[in-house]
């Protein structure tokens, strides 16, 4: 009986801590686990309208404080034909340095092309954080561009990468 009660309390606390959001404007469903925050930005009808300091486009930014540097996951919604738009190669002043090596990967919701590289800070013209960029395969005529990184100049270690990937796994199409 004690084990059942403990199990119910653990499940209830997880549900209370995690919040699932269905974003009709981004055609996404995501869950923010404990410690993570999510902020949507951009236009509700046109993904290339408005935006914020990260991108003049629509998306959602997730972050989580960490003692060795904040974790970040940024998702850009990309309309059909929008992958060639240069603005989605940036997260604010950070420009993704493209690499030729592509890894194919999947999770329960998406199939991705994954590239490991780093950002270049265009304001200072210096290399910046190591990051991973995911491009989802098209879903109903659109796709998603996802950047993950830790605000730390060291290489992404396996523990950091695992935690960032867990956040990516909580994002799914509607």
CA gap 122, 111 in Å, rounded? 30
All structural domains of the chain with their residue ranges: 19-173
Residue 139 is predicted with a pLDDT of 84
CA gap 18, 70 in Å, rounded? 19
Backbone angles phi, psi at 101, to 5 degrees: -70, 120
Residue 81 is predicted with a pLDDT of 74
Residue 84 is predicted with a pLDDT of 67
CATH number of 19-173: 3.40.1000
Per-residue pLDDT of the chain (174 residues; tens, 9 = 90+): 444 433 343 343 444 457 889 888 899 999 999 999 999 998 777 777 777 788 888 899 999 999 999 999 999 988 877 666 777 888 999 999 989 898 999 988 889 999 999 999 999 999 999 999 999 998 888 889 999 999 988 888 888 999 998 999 999 988
Contact 136, 143 (CB under 8 A): yes
CA gap 74, 70 in Å, rounded? 13
Contact 45, 82 (CB under 8 A): no
């Amino acid at each position: 009986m004690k084990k059942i009660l403990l199990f119910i309390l653990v499940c209830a606390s997880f549900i209370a801590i995690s919040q699932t959001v269905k974003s009709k404007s981004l055609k996404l469903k995501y869950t923010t686990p404990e410690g993570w925050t999510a902020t949507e930005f951009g236009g509700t009808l046109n993904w290339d309208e408005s935006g914020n300091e990260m991108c003049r486009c629509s998306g959602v930014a997730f972050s989580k404080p960490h003692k060795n540097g904040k974790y970040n996951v940024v998702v850009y919604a990309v309309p059909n034909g929008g992958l060639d738009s240069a603005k989605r190669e940036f997260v604010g002043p950070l420009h993704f340095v493209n690499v030729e090596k592509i890894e194919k990967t999947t999770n329960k919701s998406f199939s991705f092309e994954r590239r490991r590289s780093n950002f270049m800070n265009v304001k200072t013209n210096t290399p910046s954080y190591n990051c991973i960029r995911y491009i989802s395969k098209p879903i109903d005529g659109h796709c998603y561009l996802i950047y993950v990184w830790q605000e730390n100049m060291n290489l992404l270690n396996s523990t950091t990468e695992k935690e960032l990937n867990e956040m990516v796994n909580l994002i799914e199409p509607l």
